[in-house]
Amino acid sequence: MKLIEKYACRKLRKKAAAVNRRVELPNPDSVRKVCVLWQPSQKEAFQYLHDHFLREQVIFRNLCVYPSNAVADAGTNIITQKDLNWMGLPKNGPADDFIKIEYDLLLNIALEQTLVLNYLTALSRARFKVGWSPDDANFFDLNINIGMKQDALYLAKQQIFYLGQLNKKLYDESSI
pLDDT (tens, 9 = 90+) of the chain, 176 residues, equals: 688 888 888 998 999 888 888 899 988 788 999 999 999 999 999 999 999 999 888 999 999 998 877 666 665 688 988 888 888 899 888 888 899 999 999 999 999 999 999 999 999 999 999 999 988 778 999 999 998 899 999 999 999 999 989 877 665 655 55
CATH class label, 3-174: alpha beta
Distance between CA atoms of residues 68 and 122, nearest Å: 21
DSSP-H helix ranges across 33-151? 43-55, 94-100, 115-123
Question: Which residues lie across from 83 on neighbouring strands?
Answer: none
The helix (H) or strand (E) run that includes residue 108 is strand 105-108
pTM comes to 0.89
| Whether the Cβ atoms of residue 155 and residue 111 lie closer than 8 Å to each other | yes
